[in-house]
Amino acid sequence: MAEHLLPFEKIERKILVKKEAKTNPDLGCAPAERKTDEIITYGVVNINKPQGPTSHQVSDYVQKILHIDKAGHSGTLDPHVHGVLPVALGRATRIVQGLLTSGKEYIGIMHLHKEIEEPKLNEAIKKYFTGKIRQLPPIKSSVKRQERTREIYYFDILEKDGQDALFIVGCQAGTYIRKLIHDLGQKLRIGAHMQELRRTKAGPFREGTLCTLQDLADAFHFYKIENNEKFLRKIIQPVESAVVHLPKIWVFDTTIDTLCHGANLNIPGISKLDSGINENDVVAIMSLKDELVALGTAKANSENILSSEKGIAAKTDKVFMLPGTYKNK
């Protein structure tokens, strides 16, 4: 059976050094060294969404538990679906935009309305429901109901027992799994529906870092009542955890403040970068302490950025670092 990896998980990147540089220890702060009060308003928590509430309700629960002004989730899960739901906190909320378009993985159970041999089932999946497919969103959906192309990276049957089949699917964001199973049943002319579904990957987030809403509430209680920050710091991840799947460009300390005011990233401001960046890729612009400065759109590939002395390397789209963080006091 094929290895189950989303596209970005297959990419091996190397760091290309354009100009070695040191960072001023008095400016900025490495993500792991941020104070607990800051990570509560500038972090991400990977919630194990239960069946029942909507994704928006879960995000709202997180906001109330932590007593913060805002929180945002990284892609809607059907109320009956459970599993990985990253929720960004406070000032980090806009990072979910970078996760909405990233690949997802699901494990579920489909119920076939008539018995069919497993080889025939696998043959139909491979022929019609792997690679780029056309899908019409269901009647109850948050998008305009018109046929669109979506990519299925992998779709395998893990186990089959009579008319029930355990499956795993890795897909482009915006793929409707319930509709995928329905369409498979139609193609087989036997009918099928999704019986249960769990999301196991959302971009770089995995089941290994999941916590429940109760875990979060308990951790916050220990922090506020007993001044014990250990549990909360284990649960809440720095905002940088939401960009580990993106190619990165590291910039000099002296470049950062202009970026924080919305300027585009020029090539002379770059210290090092990942290999494999292509024009129009979404890139994470980082400090030399590995802090997220901004998200941008690459305007040149890695080779051109490395060999050029001038020009725009990336258009700055969303700034996360506060202006003045890297301004000499």
CB 240 within 8 A of CB 88: no
DSSP 204: T
Distance CA 235, CA 327 (A): 31
- As annotated, the active-site residues are 78
CB within 8 Å of 5: residues ≥ 6 apart: 153, 170
Tell me phi and psi for residue 124, to 5 degrees: -65, -40
DSSP 210: -
Tell me phi and psi for residue 248, to 5 degrees: -125, 150
In order, the DSSP letters of 91-139 are: GGGGGHHHHHTS-EEEEEEEEESS---HHHHHHHHHHHSSEEEEEPPPS
Please report, for residues 21, 39, 92, the alpha-carbon distance to residue 239 in angstroms, rounded to integers and kept in the order given. 24, 8, 6
